[in-house]
Every structure is written in structure tokens, then in C-alpha cells.
Amino acid sequence: MATTDLTACEIRDAVRRREMSAAEATEASLAAIAALDPKIKAFLAIDADGARRRAADIDRRIAAGENVGLLAGVPVAVKDVLCTANGLPTTCGSKILQNWKAPYNAHVIERLLAEGAVIVGKTNMDEFAMGSSTENSAYFTTRNPWDLERVPGGSSGGSAAAVAARMVPLALGSDTGGSIRQPAALCNVVGLKPTYGRVSRYGLVAFASSLDQIGPFARTVRDAALLLQATAGEDPRDSTCVLNKDQPVPDYLDKLDEPVAPLRIGVPREFFGAGLDPEVEKAVRAALAAYEKQGATLVEIGLPHSTEYAIATYYIVATSEASSNLARYDGVHYGYRSSDHTDMIDMYMRSRAQGFGDEVKRRIMLGTYALSAGYYDAYYKNALRVRRLIRSDFEQAFEKVDCIMGPTTPTPAFRMGEKTADPLSMYLSDVYTVSANLAAIAGVSVPCGFTAAGLPVGLQILSGVFTEDRLLRIARMYEREVDWASRVPPTVAEVRP
Amino acid sequence: MTAELVPTIGLEVHMHLATRSKMFCGCRVAYDARPNSLVCPVCLGMPGVLPVMNKLAVELSVRMALALNCTIPDFAKWDRKHYYYPDLPKNYQISQYDQPLGINGYLDVETPAGTRRIGITRVHLEEDAGKLMHAEHGNYSIVDLNRTGTPLLEVVSEPDVRGAEEARLYAETLRQLAVYLGISYCNMQLGQMRCEPNVSLRIGAGPDGKPLYTPISELKNLNSFRSVERAVTFEIARHRQEYLADPGNYTLAKQGKSTRGWRDDEGISFLQRSKEEAHDYRYLPEPDLVPFVPERAWVEELRKNLPELPRARRERYIKMGLSEETADMLLAEAFVANFWDVFHETLEHHQGAGKWPIKRVLELANNWTLQDVRRALNEKTIDAPSLHAEFAKQLADLVVLVETGVINRNTGAEVFNKMIKAKLDLNPKSAAEIVKEENLAQTSDSSAIEAFVDQALAANAKAVEDYRGGKKASFGRLMGEAMKASGGKANPQLVKEILLKKLGG
């Protein structure tokens, strides 16, 4: 067994017990990156020197008997939407921030450092987290480790692929409409979107502020719980992050293996309708049967607003906020500035026209239109009304059931270029995930099998606000019954001795 | 057609709040710092940052809204107002659009035509932008972002103002209230207060009986009361002229609202933006901040703690016998007037004060407050919180020492400073202790004073000669020398008498 097959918990324990050094764990990760990333292209930037220095420091501190935290010596990759003051650029996958170096660390980066993690690099993503395949990255497309001709999903595709290809045991992503859960499903890893307000957004470059949330990627539920543990909790710099006194951060690990019983699982009709790939449905139904076998009750429920209207609502709310959040990239204070402008307005226009990619421009235009005088009520205000209906769909559902399950995505990983010409078909790959963001609830995708062609399928489990502890236990109930996580992607197996 | 043209003016007034830090980050607010030295990732609008509300700014704003008789709604929210300009790093300003923190108030303004009640539409809080300066040489501009994010209170009046003088008086009254309450320093040179009058003329009534108006012009960023009055005067005349030249066309219905600048040196306004060029600000509820939901009890506490407002207080002072000038000086800041009230009452009932006439008590209260206390405030050796009742009592003890002739007035001022210093050194002393320890009691022994006078005369023969030669100004010099010889402790009245006697002899 290779060092990179170890889970984060195993590495952490070994490092703490001094059976392995942080340096060894880091070297194994850097070696895997060197061997695999030229094919997979998960990383936009690798900080080998910084990681080595950091690992050496952790080893020194462990030798000195210091407590180095929950993630002692664990290599972690972070999506390039998180500000890092480590000297690497924070590009958000965009040309407009090509050389921009953040002068500060995001709250979650501070947390990782405080808990002894070793940050090895920044992962690729769709530009400003807008996309479902990483094809909207201004730099390159990340490949799915299970089939290099296919996309890893997105927008956090780099993080998902890095974990799936065992280059790192843990990665951070961000989820605005499914950007953690969808790539997790497509890459056979666990991806968790916490409740809105559970993790501070300070230092997460905003796409849609009322939907964005940072969350973990891992190969196991336990590792995802560990990374959530390290990052959750209050931060006075984010007013939308809950106070610990109102929502204490529970211990996500100590009862993780205790099954939830009785368990009532809501199965929404709307998540099994037209457009769902039969192989995906089969895998998800099998997972539901596995829960039934453990004594869970399946309850058919309706979420009338949560598929049909969710995508439309999402694309108004998200683009409106994006058009505002992205207004700051104008070439004046930082980032890309066109060199061929004639005056100030021209500088604004050319910098933005040259600095942003097509999908970002499309969404800025949609959002600008939705917020324009005379249209605001028809679009944005109505979208907020539907958003409240979606939220109440879930609230009503959670009165009857403990969680909701269904497929994470309608199809397995698609081929590169398959959907780029048709933005709407790309948007539909988020059809089951966006409603959780609109409702601000917690959701996770766990591996639940493979198609005949060997492509991973994800089971999505949704639960009410601030119930991540129960959500993780429910996910674990299934995970312990199956063995999907131990499968090694063919690209990874190839490079092994 | 001879419709009466009635000026119809509303004012938007912006004020920097008197907070130490900015609206949404911890950066210091200051006006004399090196450009771009008071900035952080938050006020620079860098990727990934989030705003955090300055609680003091909100409290000051609610106090101002209460003082303007506004209703404080149970729910106020923040909105983003979008426009592109290099002094606005995020290209949106965090402001309050449709649900501000104060609505439906009024301000009473004293005018030559009597008291005018001007409606207050709304009071809201926002962040200021930075400053853009065009380079003197070269085709570029430079930006200073120190001001970016400074808490800015906007007070919007109803179009109740009827003329240029009234517009100025409204702005002055608003300023007095804000400074009095410690809401804003309102230093107009520093840009801490800016006025934007919206001017229109009521033309008469249309066929449906509803009033008709000339187009509204908004005069931007006037930074003196004088320019408010001049610009409004100019604008009223311009509207009148434009309307009379083309009554059918120069109407609000046809031309809407435009934005105009004011050239103070030339005394003219000029068009900045017409209706067609008006911005679409694309307001968006600010998703990075939680709405402001004030607790009723907190609002009531703020209301209860508002001091007596300047207008009522001024009337009371004048009734008490203060001159208008003195009353206005005391009313410049509420905490000074509050101290005066306590100090005056302490003097009235103070043991040593005996039965001083009412007038003398007033004089003493004014004199010590506006001279000694004021000076110490200016020198920042004392501050507002130190002007408490106990301090008033200590000061009254000192005043009694002066008034009963134990020390003279100059020594009194000195003892006052020593009391403050002792307090700052955390070794507080009473006036009597200081007088005793430093042997400062006044000398009224005429033989001793005669000796000081003789000493002064002997050492200043030239001044004596001048005085006798008719140069009466030399008396002051000799008086000063004699006081100096006594170490400042001689009873000045006796010095004067003896000196006069000796010079006259």
C-alpha cells in the first residue's frame, strides 16, 4: 500500500505517533502530483518548497512535543478561489487575476495552518466557480482520473480530481450550486457542502455571496468530517457566519460510526424524472436498498419547486450577485488591465472584455439585466420569492423525514466539449444540487457505484440546516457497507510500480 | 399666464460620523494621513473580503434619526448601489436603499419669517468613496483611498424648503444638531459635511389639480453654507428664466431630473448629467451583511439618553438670563452644556458659595466653563467623560477659594491646571490641598504688598518716568512687575490701590 493510499486520519495519527513524518507524507503527495498531474492537470500552482518547509516545521514541533492540531502533517489542496498569502497567485481560474497574489489568508486557510495541515497547491476550477466541468478555466481543463477524455465536473473539478487521483487525501472546494457535490460524484469521492453560515467565507472570492459555501473533499466520510471539523465555526469577519453560541460546532468524529435509527429517508419524485441516466438511477436505487436493509424507511416526498423552478431561480439569484461581486475587476486597482485603452471607460471595457471568459461574461450580462431598473421586480424579486418556496419545500419535508436522498447528478462524467456549445445543457447538470444552496441546507455526495463503462456515480444526501453531524453519520452508514472508495482510478494504477 | 413660481427645495446632506474607525473595517478615519496609508484589504475591495458593520456608526445614526424626530423601523437593510468609478474600489457602494434606519421625521428651523418645520424623509447610513485627483501634468489620475469606507450619514429632507436663505439655515441647523450630539464634527473644509440641494419651482396646478413643477436640478457636493445659499439663489433665478422663456417645455414631466455642479469662483451652476444619462444603480440587497433589526429597548434607551435638544435648551438658557452669544457657545456641544448645567447647579447650592446673587452664579458658571474647561478640552487634557458631577463639585470648591479671596483668579486658573495634572497622574488633589501644599494663598498684608510695589518701582525707573510723563499704559507693566515680585500671590486689588497711591504721590 502506497503512502498516498492512506486517509488523512491515518496520516495524522501516524505523524502524531511519529511513525511517519510530515515530510514523508508531503514528499509522497508531491511525488504523486509530479507523476500524475501532467495528465490530470488538477493543479494551477504547486508550492513544493513551501510545503516542504511547512512539513519540516511540523516535524520539528512534533519532536518538541507540541500539539500541532487536527491535521498534523496532512497534505491538503485548496481550490484557487481561496485567498492564500503563501506567494502563489489566487487566480479563480481567470485571466483577470492571472498574477494577483492575495495579501491575506482566507479564514479557512488560517484554520488549516492552525491545525497543522500542509498546503501543497491551488487547484483548477471553472473561472470564478462558474461552470460544471472546469472547461471554463482560463488555463486548462482538468481531466477525470477515471477517464481522461472526460471532465471531472466543476467548478471545483481540480480539487475533486486531486483527491480522486490520490495526489492529496484532502482538498477544499466551494459550492454555490453544486460545485463540490457534482465533481465529487463524477470522481468517486466524498464532497460536502455545509449549511450556509457554518464555515466563514472570509477570503473566499465571491461568486454568489448568498449561496457560496466552502466544504471538504475526501475519499472517506471520516476524512470529510475531519476537514469540516477543522474549518467550521464562527469568524467575526463574516457577518453571515453563525456564532458558536447559537450553533455550537459539534464533534463530527466521535459518534460518526453510530447509525441513525430510526431513519426516515425522503425520496423526492422530482429527483427521479426525465433526464436521469438509467445507470445512475440503478446505482442510486441500490444505495437506497442498502439503507432499507439497515432498517431505514423510504418515504416518497414531493419538492414541487425544487427542480423545475430551482435552476431558473438559481440562475437569477447567482448571476445577479455575481454581476455585483465581479464589478470590482476593472483593471484599476489590481489584476489584469488592458494596455490598448484610449480613456478610462475604454480601459474598464477592454480590461473586462479581455480579462473575463465567455461564461463569466454571459452571467454578468444575465445578472446585470436581472437587476436593471424595470426588471428587478420581475426577475430578482420573484426569484427571491421562489427561493422562499424552495426553502419551505425542504422545511416541510424535514418535518417528515430525517434526510433526503437521490442522485447527485443526472449523468456520469461527460466528455470534454460535449456541453460547452450548449450552456443550458451544462446548467442542467446542477439540477439536483442547486436547491440545497437556495435552501441554505447541508448536502453531501458519497460514491455509490460505477456505470458499466467504469464511471463513478454519486448519491446525494441532503439534511436540514446545521445537521452536518447527523448527515455524516447517515453517509457513513452506507459507506461502511460498500467498497467504492478503495477502487483506484486506472490512471493512478498505471503509474504505480 | 401669471402663475406664482414657488421655490420647492429638498436637501440631501452627507455627514462623516465621528467614529474612530471606518464603516465596514477597522481602518482609522483621519484626514491628514499619507495617501493610501489608512487602507486594508476590506476597504480596498480586494477579492474575498467581507464587510463588518461598525456598531458605533449605527448607534450614532439612530441617535441622529431620533433627534430628527424620525421613526426607527424594526427592520433596516443594506443594499449595494452600483456605479463604476476609480475611487470606489468595489464599483458598488454599500448604502441603504428602500429600508433605511430612520424615516418620517422633521427639523424645526428658525428663520426671519419664524419657525419653519422641514420634513425629514429619511436618514440612512452608507460608506464614503475615496478621492480621485487629476495629475497636473500628464494624462492620468491618482487615487487616494484613505476616505474609502468612512461612515457617511445621509439626511434627506422633504421638498419643504422655500428659498435660498432657508436652505442655508436648514443646513446650519442640521450641522449644529449633529455637532451638538457628537454625531459628526461637520468640518466642511475637510469634507465632513456636504450639501446637495434639489431645486425646482412650483409652477401652479395642472388640469387635474395636481401641482406642476419645473425640472428638478440636484446641485452636487456644496461644501460651505455660503455656497448653498448662493447656488440655490442662482438656480432659482435660472429656473425662473428658463421657465418664462419656454413655459410649455420647461417642466418636470418633460425634462425630469438633472445633476448640476457649482463653480463657486464664477458663481454659476453647470450641467453634469441630464435625465437621459442618469445612472441605473441596480440596487441589490447586500448579501454579505445581515439586516439591521434594532431592539426596541435599545432604541428607547437611546431616545431616553438624548440630551435636551438645542432649540429648547437655548430658550431655557436665555430665560435664565444668559446672552444669546453665551448660550450658543455652551450649545456648541451637548456635553459642554450638560456640564454647565451640573456645574451651575452645584455652585448654586455649594456650601462656600453663600448667598451669591443669581447673576454672579451665572457669570461664574459661564466664565469657568467657557474659559478654563474649554481650554483644557481644546488641549485634550480632559475629555467629555471626565466632565462628571464630581468634577463639577471639585471645580466649585476652587471657585469658592477664588471668590472668597483665598487665591486670586490667575492662581485659580493655575490651580485648575494642577488639579487636572494631578488627576492624570492618578494622584487626585483638591484645590485646597494644592493651594496649601504649594503655598499659593493670596497675600493681602498691605505692608508686604507695599514692599513688592516698591521693588517694582525701583527696578523700572523708565516705566515710572513714562507713566508720570502721561503714558498711562505703563501702569500695566508696573502692575505686572509688582505681581511678579509677589510670586503671583498678591491680592491684585490691593496692588493696584497701593501702586496708584505711590505713583500719584
CB B283 to CB A376 under 8 A?
yes
The structural domain count of chain B equals: 3
* Residue B1 in domain: no
Chain B positions in Cβ-Cβ contact with residue A321 (cut-off 8 Å): 284, 287
* Residue B295 in domain: no
Q: Distance between CA atoms of A318 and A208, rounded to whole angstroms?
A: 5
- Residues B477, B337 within the same domain: no
Band (A428; pLDDT cuts 50, 70, 90): confident
More confident residue, A105 or B328: A105
Report the pLDDT value the prediction gives residue B1, as an integer from 0 to 100: 46
Nearest to A421 by CA among A364, A359, A363: A359
Look at residue A447 and give its three-state secondary structure: strand
Q: Distance between CA atoms of A395 and A390, rounded to whole angstroms?
A: 9
CB A239 to CB B289 under 8 A?
yes
Residues B167/B232, Cβ–Cβ less than 8 Å: yes
B144 to chain A: nearest residue by CA?
A: A333
DSSP code at position A136? T
Q: Does A83 touch chain B (CB under 8 A)?
A: yes
DSSP code at position B15? E
Look at residue A342 and give its three-state secondary structure: coil
Does residue A28 surpass a pLDDT of 90? yes
Look at residue B342 and give its three-state secondary structure: helix
Report the pLDDT value the prediction gives residue B2, as an integer from 0 to 100: 47
Nearest to A165 by CA among A226, A117, A219: A219
Q: How close, in Å, is residue B123 to chain A by CA atoms?
A: 23
Q: How close, in Å, is residue A84 to chain B by CA atoms?
A: 11
Residue B241, C-alpha cell as written in the block? 428664466
Provide the phi-psi class of B286: left if phi over 0, else alpha when psi is between -120 and 50, else beta.
beta
Q: Distance between CA atoms of B364 and A351, rounded to whole angstroms?
A: 68
Residue B125, C-alpha cell as written in the block? 447610513
Residues A150/A40, Cβ–Cβ less than 8 Å: no
Q: What is the pLDDT of residues B60-107, one digit of tens each?
A: 999 999 999 999 999 999 999 999 999 999 999 999 999 999 999 999
Give the strand pairing for A43-46 and A118-123. Answer: antiparallel
Q: Distance between CA atoms of A106 and A87, rounded to whole angstroms?
A: 14
Q: Does B81 touch chain A (CB under 8 A)?
A: no
Residue B228, C-alpha cell as written in the block? 448653498
Of B46, B89, B92, the CB nearest to A324: B92
Q: What is the pLDDT of residues B271-280, one digit of tens each?
A: 998 888 888 9
A239 to chain B: nearest residue by CA?
A: B289
Mean pLDDT, rounded, for B234-251: 95
Residues A175/A213, Cβ–Cβ less than 8 Å: yes
Kindly report which listed range (A42-56, A141-155, B214-228, B328-342) carries the lowest average pLDDT score.
B328-342
Of A82, A103, A332, the CB nearest to B41: A103
- Residues B259, B371 within the same domain: no
Residues A484/A283, Cβ–Cβ less than 8 Å: no
Kindly report which listed range (A10-14, A242-246, A345-349, B437-441) carries the lowest average pLDDT score.
B437-441
Q: Does B49 touch chain A (CB under 8 A)?
A: yes
Chain A positions in Cβ-Cβ contact with residue B53 (cut-off 8 Å): 239
Band (B137; pLDDT cuts 50, 70, 90): confident
Chain B positions in Cβ-Cβ contact with residue A348 (cut-off 8 Å): 84
Q: What is the pLDDT of residues B202-211, one digit of tens each?
A: 998 888 888 9
pLDDT above 70 covers a percentage of chain A that reads 100
Of A104, A236, A323, the CB nearest to B52: A236
- Residues B316, B281 within the same domain: no
C-alpha B98: how far from chain center: 29
Residue A230, burial from CB neighbour count under 10 angstroms (0-12, 13-18, 19+) = buried
- Residues B29, B139 within the same domain: yes
- Residues B431, B452 within the same domain: no
Residue found under cell 439612530: B62
Q: Distance between CA atoms of B154 and B10, rounded to whole angstroms?
A: 13
* Residue B46 in domain: yes
Q: Distance between CA atoms of B409 and B414, rounded to whole angstroms?
A: 9
Last residue of a domain, one of B437, B460, B480: B437
Q: What is the pLDDT of residues B173-197, one digit of tens each?
A: 999 999 999 999 999 999 999 999 9
Of B44, B282, B290, the CB nearest to A372: B282
Of B45, B51, B283, the CB nearest to A328: B45
- Supply the angle between the helices A382-400 and A310-325 in degrees, to the nearest 10: 130
- Residues B229, B375 within the same domain: no
- Residues B318, B228 within the same domain: no
Beta bridge partners of A459: A407, A446
Last residue of a domain, one of B227, B255, B285: B285
Active site residues of A: 79, 155, 179
CB B50 to CB A324 under 8 A?
no
Does residue A288 surpass a pLDDT of 90? yes
Report the pLDDT value the prediction gives residue B326, as an integer from 0 to 100: 93
B53 to chain A: nearest residue by CA?
A: A239
Nearest to A338 by CA among A326, A328, A329, A347: A347
Chain A positions in Cβ-Cβ contact with residue B143 (cut-off 8 Å): 332-333
Of B47, B287, B289, the CB nearest to A205: B47
Of A237, A239, A327, the CB nearest to B91: A327
* Residue B34 in domain: yes
Q: List b or e across A302-324, with b for residues whose CB sees 16 or more CB atoms inside 10 angstroms.
A: ebebbbebbbebbbbbbbbbbbb
Q: Distance between CA atoms of A493 and A496, rounded to whole angstroms?
A: 5
Of B47, B82, B282, the CB nearest to A90: B47
| H or E element, residue B341 | helix B334-349
CB B288 to CB A372 under 8 A?
no
Q: What is the pLDDT of residues A437-486, one digit of tens each?
A: 999 999 999 999 999 999 999 999 999 999 999 999 999 999 999 999 99
Which chain A residues in 183-212 lie under 8 Å from chain B, judged by CB atoms? Answer: 201-206, 208-210
Nearest to B492 by CA among B447, B444, B455: B444
Q: How close, in Å, is residue B132 to chain A by CA atoms?
A: 12
Q: Does B53 touch chain A (CB under 8 A)?
A: yes
Tell me, what amino acid is at A25? A
Chain B positions in Cβ-Cβ contact with residue A328 (cut-off 8 Å): 45, 47, 89-91
B82 to chain A: nearest residue by CA?
A: A324
Band (B505; pLDDT cuts 50, 70, 90): low
Mean pLDDT, rounded, for A212-234: 98
* Residue B297 in domain: no
- Residues B326, B401 within the same domain: yes
Q: Does B41 touch chain A (CB under 8 A)?
A: yes
- Sheet containing A403-407: give its strands across: A43-46, A118-123, A75-79, A170-175, A213-218, A190-193, A442-450, A456-463, A403-407, A264-268, A297-301
First to last CA, chain A: 11
φ/ψ of residue B359, rounded to 5: -65, -40
Alpha helices (H) along A103-261: 107-114, 157-164, 181-187, 221-231
Q: What is the pLDDT of residues A315-337, one digit of tens each?
A: 999 999 999 999 999 999 999 99
Rg (CA), chain B: 30
Q: Does A330 touch chain B (CB under 8 A)?
A: yes
Q: Does A278 touch chain B (CB under 8 A)?
A: no
* Residue B72 in domain: yes
Chain B positions in Cβ-Cβ contact with residue A383 (cut-off 8 Å): none
B278 to chain A: nearest residue by CA?
A: A373
What are the distances in angstroms from CA A86 to CA A46, A74, A174, A176, A312? 11, 17, 20, 25, 39
Does residue A489 surpass a pLDDT of 60? yes
The listed range with the strongest mean pLDDT (A178-187, B385-394, B405-414) is A178-187
pLDDT above 70 covers a percentage of chain B that reads 99
pLDDT above 90 covers a percentage of chain A that reads 93
Q: Does A337 touch chain B (CB under 8 A)?
A: no
Q: How close, in Å, is residue B82 to chain A by CA atoms?
A: 7
Give the strand pairing for A264-268 and A297-301. Answer: parallel
Q: What is the pLDDT of residues A169-190, one digit of tens each?
A: 999 999 999 999 999 999 999 9
φ/ψ of residue A140, rounded to 5: -170, 170
Q: Distance between CA atoms of B257 and B273, rounded to whole angstroms?
A: 9
The boundaries of the domain holding residue B450 are: 446-504
* Residue B151 in domain: yes
Chain B positions in Cβ-Cβ contact with residue A371 (cut-off 8 Å): 82, 282-284
CB B48 to CB A82 under 8 A?
yes
Q: How close, in Å, is residue A450 to chain B by CA atoms?
A: 37
CB B48 to CB A236 under 8 A?
no
A203 to chain B: nearest residue by CA?
A: B48
Residues A66/A99, Cβ–Cβ less than 8 Å: no
Q: What is the pLDDT of residues B35-68, one digit of tens each?
A: 999 999 999 999 999 999 999 999 999 999 999 9
Mean pLDDT of chain B: 92
CB atoms within 10 A of CB B41: 17
Chain B positions in Cβ-Cβ contact with residue A330 (cut-off 8 Å): 84, 91
- Residues B62, B81 within the same domain: yes
Q: How close, in Å, is residue B90 to chain A by CA atoms?
A: 4
First to last CA, chain B: 86
- Sheet containing B79-82: give its strands across: B92-95, B79-82, B284-285
CB B47 to CB A102 under 8 A?
yes
Residue A9, C-alpha cell as written in the block? 486520519
Q: Distance between CA atoms of B274 and B344, rounded to whole angstroms?
A: 57
At B482, which CATH number? 1.10.10.410
Chain B positions in Cβ-Cβ contact with residue A332 (cut-off 8 Å): 86, 89, 143
- Residues B427, B450 within the same domain: no
DSSP code at position B373? I
Nearest to A456 by CA among A192, A169, A220, A185: A185
Report the pLDDT value the prediction gives residue A444, as an integer from 0 to 100: 98
Q: How close, in Å, is residue A263 to chain B by CA atoms?
A: 35
CB atoms within 10 A of CB A82: 27
Architecture of the domain delimited by A3-258+469-494: Alpha-Beta Complex (3.90)
Q: How close, in Å, is residue A362 to chain B by CA atoms?
A: 17
* Residue B491 in domain: yes
- Residues B471, B432 within the same domain: no
Q: Distance between CA atoms of A45 and A97, rounded to whole angstroms?
A: 14
Report the pLDDT value the prediction gives residue B3, as an integer from 0 to 100: 59
Does residue B484 surpass a pLDDT of 90? no
Does residue B440 surpass a pLDDT of 90? no
Tell me, what amino acid is at A104? Y
CB A239 to CB B52 under 8 A?
yes
Chain B positions in Cβ-Cβ contact with residue A208 (cut-off 8 Å): 287
- Listed in sequence order, the residues at least 6 apart from B98 whose beta carbon sits closer than 8 Å to its beta carbon are B79, B283
DSSP code at position B117? E
Alpha helices (H) along B382-473: 389-403, 409-424, 431-437, 446-459, 461-468
CB A368 to CB B143 under 8 A?
no
Instruction: For chains A and B, count residue pairs whose Cβ atoms are closer than 8 Å.
Output: 94
- Residues B311, B359 within the same domain: yes
Q: Measured on CA atoms in the order A362, A367, A372, A374, is the torsion positive or negative?
A: positive
Residues B187/B68, Cβ–Cβ less than 8 Å: no
Chain B positions in Cβ-Cβ contact with residue A355 (cut-off 8 Å): none
Mean pLDDT, rounded, for B382-399: 89
Q: Name the pTM for this structure.
A: 0.90
Q: How close, in Å, is residue B80 to chain A by CA atoms?
A: 8
Last residue of a domain, one of B388, B412, B437: B437
